[in-house]
Amino acid sequence: MARTTPEAEVDRDLVELARKGDREAFAVLVHQVSDSLYTVAHRILRDPGLAEDALQNALVLAWRRLPHLREPDRFEAWFHRILVHACYDESQRARQWTAHVRVLPVDGPTTPDESAAVADRDQLERAFRRLPMDQRAVFVLHHYLGLPLVEIAQMLEIPAGTARSRLHYAIRGLRAAIEAESESTAQEGRLA
Amino acid sequence: MTDDRSFERTARSWLETGPTEAPERVIDAAFVEIASTPQERDWHVPWRLPKMNPFARALIGVAAVAVLVIGGLRLLPATSGTIGGVPTASPTTTPAASAAAVASPRFPLTGTFTSTLMGYSIKIADGWVAEPATIPWDTATDNGPPGVDSITMTGTDSSLGVASQPIPAGSTYEQFLVQFHKNTVPGVPTGCDGGDPSTWKSVQIGPETGVLQQLCNATIAFADVGGRIYRFAWGSDTFNTNQHITEAEFKDLLKTVTFAPTAAKSPVAP
């Protein structure tokens, strides 16, 4: 999949124009980065509606705050940071709602290999939804966008050690949840 | 999915599934909102100035002094001094001048902005735009939004940035000011750092007494209230002193502050 990452080149002149209030320049920039922003939001929030709201809020917020952007060359990284914070905000708003939502298992597969793969993904989905938002964000930026931790730290304006520990705890949390679930499933199988 | 490599492979594959394009209607909806949304002005205090060759810097320095002298001579009888001028050139506001500002204010402070994150309220004028902070104030890396509340003073080129945080463990208010001042020095022209914190003038902030760090195009007021450090920074987009708020106006604004340190939610930034 061709993915626009924060390292991709954007037109510095367009950024400067947009900083000075040129909405058309901003529209061009948005079309260059919106797919990446949306897909990242979707992976973090695991909900199309919340991801759409996060994207819309991030676009408006980025427009308003663009004059504060210090380094036009870091436009995409800056935009992704705004998006990640928009995701945090959306998750806060949705917390009450998601607390009552039960994730349903996906439909059953047909072959044993597919069965294992789908079961893994289903377990991942459930485990991922239990992670704190800040850990989800680092996990997605690292494993989906393929960004190094140092770059994630710069993007989110957190110490590199914090980015590292968030990724560590995310992976640990995912593995623990998956293993606990597998064990529970195995026990249920034995009891049956 | 037991070993690390298998786990990572499965995780990456799982992340790949899902939409790959942003819905156009979301972008369209955003642009409908953007069409009527003004951009925030950049009030950021320039801790770090762009590199400039010595000749250009000297030339600009001479020009700036000339502008200040000529402008000052033209405006001297009519104004009471502007926050953000060169410190030595800023006249001290007398009680009479302050009273006059209250008696006929340019900006009647009819509204109130309350920051639950930072734990304070301040009066604002009609038309001023307040943007609450959304993340903790990180004194080390950022002195602008979204880590501070930003209040754009419509009708001037000035903005107010307000933030607070608990005094870091093992530190004191005085030590914090010393460190803050150290962080300021490398990024501002010589003579624009406000001097040693022990020399900073006192200022009334609500019912409390704080101190003022006078920079060259910004002023920052600090107070220690209930174990939290509060910082009110006035900054401007330009060096056009006619567009700035005045020292009296800034001080009047500070007097309207009420503190609620126990209600503040913003922690010490990591």
User: Is residue B250 domain-resident?
Assistant: yes
**What is the distance between the alpha carbons of residues A139 and B170, in angstroms, rounded to a whole number?**
33
Query: Does the model's pTM come out above 0.95?
Result: no
- State how many domains chain B has: 1
Same topology for domains A1-102 and A111-192, yes or no? no
Residue of chain B nearest A163, judged by CA positions: B270
Of B12, B17, B33, the CB nearest to A60: B33
Question: Which tens digit of pLDDT belongs to each residue from A127-178?
Answer: 899 899 999 999 999 999 999 999 999 899 888 889 999 999 999 988 887 7
Here the CATH number for the domain that contains residue B137 is: 3.40.1000.10
Higher per-residue confidence, B53 vs B233: B233
The residue range of the domain holding B78 is 57-263
User: Is residue B43 domain-resident?
Assistant: no
**What is the distance between the alpha carbons of residues A166 and A156, in angstroms, rounded to a whole number?**
12
Q: Do A124 and B10 touch (CB under 8 A)?
A: yes
Position B85 confidence tier, pLDDT thresholds 50, 70, 90: very low
User: Is residue B104 domain-resident?
Assistant: yes
Position A6 confidence tier, pLDDT thresholds 50, 70, 90: low
Q: Residue B89 has what pLDDT?
A: 31
Distance from CA of B75 to the nearest CA of A (A): 31
Q: Residue A38 has what pLDDT?
A: 96
User: Is residue B215 domain-resident?
Assistant: yes
Q: Do A64 and B37 touch (CB under 8 A)?
A: yes
Residue of chain A nearest B22, judged by CA positions: A35
**What is the distance between the alpha carbons of residues B1 and B131, in angstroms, rounded to a whole number?**
47
Residues 6+ away with beta carbon under 8 Å from A44: A51, A84, A87, A133, A136, A137, A140
Strand partners, B221: B212, B232
Write down the domain spans for chain A. 1-102, 111-192
Q: Do B38 and A174 touch (CB under 8 A)?
A: no
Average pLDDT, rounded, for chain A: 81
Q: Residue A144 has what pLDDT?
A: 93
Backbone angles phi, psi at B235, to 5 degrees: -145, 165
**What is the distance between the alpha carbons of residues A145 and A190, in angstroms, rounded to a whole number?**
41
User: Is residue B40 domain-resident?
Assistant: no
* Residue showing tokens 């209250």: B102
Of B7, B19, B131, the CB nearest to A42: B19
Q: Do B20 and A121 touch (CB under 8 A)?
A: no
Tell me which architecture the domain covering A1-102 has in CATH.
Answer: Orthogonal Bundle (1.10)
**What is the distance between the alpha carbons of residues A86 and A51, in angstroms, rounded to a whole number?**
9
Residue of chain B nearest A154, judged by CA positions: B141
Higher per-residue confidence, B71 vs B200: B200
Q: What is the DSSP string of B41-58?
A: P-----SSPPP--HHHHH
Prediction ipTM score: 0.81
Residues 6+ away with beta carbon under 8 Å from A132: none
The CATH code for residues A111-192 is 1.10.10.10
Q: From the candidates B17, B31, B157, which should be mutated to test the interface with A, based on the most A CB atoms within 10 A?
A: B31
Residue of chain B nearest A64, judged by CA positions: B39
Question: Which tens digit of pLDDT belongs to each residue from B142-168?
Answer: 567 778 898 888 877 778 889 999 988
